[in-house]
Amino acid sequence: MESITKTAQTWLTDFFDADTKKEIQQLIENDPEELKERFYKDLEFGTGGMRGVMGVGTNRINKYTLGKNTQGLSNYLKKTYTDNDIKVVIAYDCRHNSKTLAKTVADVFSANGIRVYLFSDLRTTPELSFAVKHLGCHAGIVLTASHNPPEYNGYKVYWADGGQIVPPQDGEIISEINALSFEDIKFDKDESLIHLIDEEVDEAFFDASVSNGNFNAKGKDDFKIVFTSLHGTSITAIPEVLKRAGYNNVTIIEEQAVPNGDFPTVESPNPEEPEALKMAIEKAEEIGADMVVGTDPDSDRLGIAVRNLEGNIELLNGNQTMVLMTKFLLDQYKQKGFKGNEFIATTIVSTPMMEQMAKAYGVEFKTALTGFKWIGKMIKDFPSSTFIGGGEESFGYMVGDFVRDKDAVTSTLLACEIAASAKANGSSFYKDLIDAYVQFGFYKEKLISLTKKGMSGAEEIKQMLIDFKENPVESVQGSKLLWIEDYNTSTAKNVQTGEKKPINIPKSNVLIYETEDGTRIAARPSGTEPKVKFYISTNAKLDKAADYYSVNSQLETKIEGILSELNL
């Protein structure tokens, strides 16, 4: 505790503003536990950049922690691009303090002689990714905490290709940041280097989104959509993109259309949670809509609900939407004729069905760690290959490579194209998904997410992963364990034969069991939230669409059995 207090006292110098100093003094005198939570560590970059609770302290998002990030990044940019007029672009979402913090970040860049393009108002994360390349910038920043609770904010860094920073750059940038003290931050802005941007980038992004997501589907006039932005940024883009692509029958949930960092109408602004889309689904039932789309605050994730075989609106999971979007794109490429250099991609905790489809279409399949930065890196690493599309189970998808992060704007349009086309052909999004199960195998997934907050929670998560590794199960629902994939040691081991295979992707704290029947169970701590996540994937053969409900019921029973066996 003494070292924590000493760290906190370094924030009482004249460099820090009066309000910060006053708050820290009160914590030192009156609330040692809260002081500990705020200063026991520095906020770190995770799979989605830096994300944390706002407030004073080294373990909080504030002008000083973000200022230090920005100073370190400025130093790195100047070392990397010695002869250039360095340019960065900054966007921010609907969260509390996002606009103020974005201006602080812009000020620090400008104080370092770096030219800044700052969006004049909130914009989506995919538009920021697009803007980096469109404006010829060397880096980009978006201030967002995605779908985290209202007290959070965050800071994601993008490089010149429009993708998030990846190794070795992220480590080099972190080293620059860690070499600084807070007093090294230059807050002395140069307003002449800060340029506000808006419509000129919007227009280019909307055009690119429509050209990548619009496949001239039939039946658009007869297709009813209910859309909600869940108080986030997508209201600035999705209605306009849908309109330009010919969708005129779009009902917007007005109560959720106003950006608001409190997210007053939802428990969580996360389209993965059925509760978040409740208002939109009720409206869809009321007006007889075909599809519901909801996006998270920074508009990189989308939740889709469609009519099932009974005609009721059902929320699909990220694996289901990813599978059908990818199949649709593969069919479009197949019609034109594959050139032999195409690939699709997903993450190690997403559905194995993606690999089965890649085999069936004869395209390359690439898999990556969780986080879209790794899929963006694939595009950069294989410039002669063509990225068709790809996603991850956590409701993110990317169409082509004009944006280098998950993109709910273009993906929403693509989902509408698939569903409108299916309806015009006497089918539906849901029926097409079942047909895909018949064709490639029926894969059913389940995610269990356990929240463990604070310092003690971090220790608990660490121990759970150790137990999962050191005390593996022998079988899962009667199917013997075959492989243990340990991404920390980059080794996959066949527990039956002792055979070992290298895993050729970066190290990560992930462990995956695979059984003889293809059941997969993955465990990983979240990189951006105090959570440990368990991903279950089961599969079965589906001979015909008419058997869907009985086979689905069998797989649901199997998943419940797995959860019981693992005490989850």
Catalytic residue positions, numbered: 146
CA distances for 89 relative to 110, 301, 393, angstroms: 12, 22, 29
Kindly report the backbone phi and psi dihedral angles of residue 383, in degrees, each rounded to the nearest multiple of 5, phi listed first: -65, -20
Euclidean distance between CA atoms 126 and 286, whole angstroms:
32
- Residue 259, preceding peptide bond in cis (omega within 30° of 0): no
What is the per-residue burial (b if ≥16 Cβ within 10 Å, else e) of 519-553? bbbbbbbbbbbbbbbbbbbbbbebeeeebbeebbe
Euclidean distance between CA atoms 196 and 472, whole angstroms:
55
Maximum CA pair distance of the chain? 72
Q: 420: which 2 tokens?
A: 């409108």
**Alpha helix (H) residue ranges in 112-153:** 125-134
Euclidean distance between CA atoms 82 and 433, whole angstroms:
52
Euclidean distance between CA atoms 305 and 429, whole angstroms:
10
Euclidean distance between CA atoms 465 and 452, whole angstroms:
13
Q: Which of 430, 432, 424 is nearest to 219 (CA)?
A: 424
Strand bridging mode 45-46 / 49-53: antiparallel
Q: Are 351 and 443 in contact (CB under 8 A)?
A: yes
Q: 181: which 2 tokens?
A: 């003290």
| Spacing of C-alpha 521 from chain mean position | 21
200 Cβ neighbours under 8 A, 6+ residues apart: none
